[in-house]
Structure 1
């Protein structure tokens, strides 16, 4: 069901405003808080490390598009929807029609990169990003299940649309940020999430 244009404009405007507030709070957080990511001196982060760190983020991205993108993207401008149909939509459809694929990928990533006795040589940068992508996937799954459990009247209302937009852009922004940091060869610093990843890695050492 398509939302009327005025309602959509209001929802997007409020979502953008909330996003700006969130960015401002995040910048204040970065400015005032000490860095909680342990820096590894003289660590060689190769091109393979950077490319390998990007790939796992497809899992939370597809999960987020399945949970939130499919509901709100049809109401976005046609050019954006057309771009989505030509690029990510076939992958999302394949992801939705093969639900076991997500769990298989999850356990494979965990077995190969996260376990303390991993069969793959230890690459701290890849391991950090794989674990972070898994955590983002679990968070997206939990948020998606919670959102779907809400009454359909609320989900189709203005407030439901605002909530869905906010969750969608949270998913998208955290993944884009993590991918950009991986390309730069730097560790992402997502509040709480990256800290939890670092604590998990430190506990396994």
Structure 2
């Protein structure tokens, strides 16, 4: 319990730092280009909303790295692998060695943000991103289970590595895009996934 505390604190610190740096860089860019930020239909999205919306994406990110990243990243250039070892790998190891953590986090997020009778004050932007991160987590879990069910001969073949790389970059790109949109204070528009999230939110309204 106490050994895991520093890792959780580091994860929280990195998330806040990424959010703050992203927001600062974005506003500097907007100032230099003298353009205005258009937030989709909600001008009450605060900096706290943006930073808080980044946190839930740790769950699908770690799930994707566990399912696909560990198999293909060792074959990537040494610099990329070295960067991975120094940044995300400790979190992935912690995630893998504590399998119950994913389900606990899933239910906590669902209870606090997704339920119609949530105890947390209604923040539509945070709720959208939490629900989207949960959906991405479930998709990653399903894809990972299907990939592991394939014959090991196929998984270790060239076609298996191509499939694994495709799934890995799908995970990484969707999460990176969602985090970027959260930093900008805009709603992500991932085909099918974001639409499913909006339908779920509308049904609970």
TM class by shorter chain equals 0.7 to 0.9
Structure 2 gaps of 5+ residues are 1-38
* TM-score after normalising by structure 2: 0.80
Summarize the Cα distance change of 1:107–1:42 in structure 2 as closer, same or farther, 3 Å threshold: closer
> Is 1:133 the equivalent of 2:133?
yes
Residue 153 of structure 2 corresponds to which residue in structure 1?
A: 153
- Structure-2 residue corresponding to 1:108: 108
- Please list every run of at least 4 consecutive aligned residues from structure 1 whose deviation after the TM superposition is greater than 4 angstroms: none
CA root-mean-square deviation:
1.0
List per-residue Cα deviations over 1:138-175 (Å, max 9, x = no partner): 00000000000000000000000000000000000000
Give, in angstroms, the shift of residue 41 of structure 1: 3.4
SS in 2 for 1:86: helix
Give the Cα–Cα distance (whole angstroms) in 2 for the partners of residues 42 and 82 of structure 1: 41
1:77 aligns with 2:77: yes
Matches within 5 A, 1:80-91: 80-91=80-91
Q: 1:166 — aligned with what?
A: 166
For each residue in 1:43-97, what CA deviation from the matched residue of structure 2 results, as whole angstroms up to 9, or x when unmatched? 3100010001000000000000000000000000011101100000000000000
Distance in 1 of aligned mates of 2:117 and 2:43: 21
Q: Deviations over 1:110-165 (max 9, x none)?
A: 00000000000000000000000000000000000000000000000000000000
Q: CA–CA distance in 1 between the matches of 2:133 and 2:42? A: 25
- Greater RCO (CA < 8 Å, at least 6 residues apart): 1
**Ranges in structure 1 where 5+ consecutive residues have no aligned partner:** 1-38
The answer to whether structure 1 residue 44 and structure 2 residue 44 are counterparts is: yes
Q: Distance in 2 between matches of 1:114 and 1:197?
A: 10
Shift of 1:42: 4.7
Give the corresponding residue for 1:67: 67
Say if 1:190 and 1:58 are closer, same or farther in 2 by CA, change over 3 A. Answer: same
